[in-house]
């Protein structure tokens, strides 16, 4: 069993990005610039956005944080998005999700210019991804692809089972693993809460990607010997033994599943670290596309 170390993969990719940013600056006088829009003061969103800003600084990119009140109207937020679309100094921006309930998230996502949509959620980018055309791939699936690449995991002809069908992870992951490319060329089964015989389907997986948000849902009897298991789940579970009062658990019961695997990603320390890294890489790609 080998751990899929997201910290190691992230450090390699961030080093590569740092070199490319330096080259862009020296050759073209161009420094990639990412902006993040944070509506309200959700604690998890605040932590995530701050991590993005710090990583930009680490690789030599510019970053901007636009803070807006939770009470902001949908119309005013759309105006802010349009300003960012029109700002030539910005290469890419994200509107941090989730948004307050009175705002239609899909309407906001559709308002972002596709060439600046470094989250990869705009229908134009999703459509291009489906057609295997160059596009911004959503950050978490992009991160998983890069982990698979760095560990040289064989995917061609394998049976890949994806558990969870969210637009952010599960659905795009199923499309990416089926495409005619590497990583890809898998036979993919996309499962979800309505799937019958989920245990048997998981047992048949050469590659099992789990993104459902149910802590320790996948147990050893659901995984076959030698499988590659990629755990995308991150759920806070109360734990009085921790200083914080909680532990972060993945969707896979790691201690009992790991001995059966050829590769497995831990939580924390696996896919989560790659999400921010992939967003930064998308921003670099956005900057390079303008040259």
Catalytic: 119?
Answer: yes
Dist CA 65 CA 43 (whole Å): 15
**Do 287 and 22 contact (CB within 8 A), yes or no?**
no
Tell me the pLDDT band of 248, cut-offs 50, 70 and 90. Answer: confident
Same fold, 29-113 and 139-272: yes
Catalytic: 146?
Answer: no
**Do 254 and 123 contact (CB within 8 A), yes or no?**
no
Average pLDDT, the chain: 95
* Residue 170, pLDDT above cutoff 90: yes
Q: Can you name the CATH fold of 139-272?
A: Rossmann fold (3.40.50)
How far out from the chain centre does Cα 260 lie?
Answer: 26
Listed by start position, the domains of the chain span 29-113, 139-272
Catalytic-labelled residue, pool 91, 117, 119, 251: 119
Non-local CB neighbours of 290 within 8 Å, separated by 6+ positions: 30, 91
Dist CA 261 CA 1 (whole Å): 6
pLDDT the model gives residue 61: 98
pLDDT the model gives residue 245: 83
Catalytic-labelled residue, pool 52, 249, 253, 281: 52
pLDDT per residue over 5-35, tens digit each?
A: 999 999 999 999 999 999 999 999 999 999 9
**Do 72 and 132 contact (CB within 8 A), yes or no?**
no
pLDDT the model gives residue 24: 96
* Residue 291, pLDDT above cutoff 90: no
**Do 49 and 20 contact (CB within 8 A), yes or no?**
no
Catalytic: 52?
Answer: yes
Catalytic-labelled residue, pool 91, 96, 117, 206: 96
**pTM for this predicted structure:** 0.93
Tokens found for residue 164: 């969870």
CATH 1.10.630.10: does it fit domain 29-113? no
């Amino acid at each position: 069993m080998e751990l899929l170390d997201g910290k190691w993969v992230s450090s390699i990719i961030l080093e590569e990005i740092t070199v490319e940013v330096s080259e862009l600056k020296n050759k073209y006088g161009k420094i990639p610039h990412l902006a993040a829009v944070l509506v309200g003061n959700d604690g998890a969103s605040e932590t995530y956005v701050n991590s993005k800003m710090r990583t930009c600084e680490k690789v030599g990119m510019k970053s901007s944080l636009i803070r807006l009140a939770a009470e902001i109207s949908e119309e005013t937020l759309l105006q802010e998005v349009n300003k960012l679309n029109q700002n030539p100094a910005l290469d890419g921006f994200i509107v941090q999700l989730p948004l307050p309930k009175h705002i239609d998230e899909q309407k906001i996502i559709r308002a972002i210019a596709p060439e600046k949509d470094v989250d990869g959620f705009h229908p134009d980018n999703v459509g291009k991804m489906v057609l295997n055309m160059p596009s911004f791939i959503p950050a978490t699936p992009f991160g998983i692809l890069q982990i698979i690449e760095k560990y040289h995991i064989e995917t061609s002809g394998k049976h890949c089972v994806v558990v969870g069908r969210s637009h952010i992870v599960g659905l795009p992951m199923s499309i990416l693993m089926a495409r005619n490319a590497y990583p890809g060329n898998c036979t993919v089964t996309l499962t979800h809460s309505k799937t019958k015989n989920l245990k048997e389907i998981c047992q048949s997986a050469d590659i099992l990607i789990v993104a459902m948000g149910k802590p320790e849902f996948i147990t050893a009897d659901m995984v076959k010997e030698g499988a590659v298991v990629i755990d995308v789940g991150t759920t806070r579970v109360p734990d009085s033994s921790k200083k914080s009062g909680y532990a972060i658990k993945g969707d896979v019961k790691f201690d009992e599943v790991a001995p059966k695997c050829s590769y497995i990603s831990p939580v924390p320390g696996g896919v989560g670290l790659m999400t921010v890294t992939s967003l930064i890489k998308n921003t670099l790609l956005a900057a390079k596309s303008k040259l």
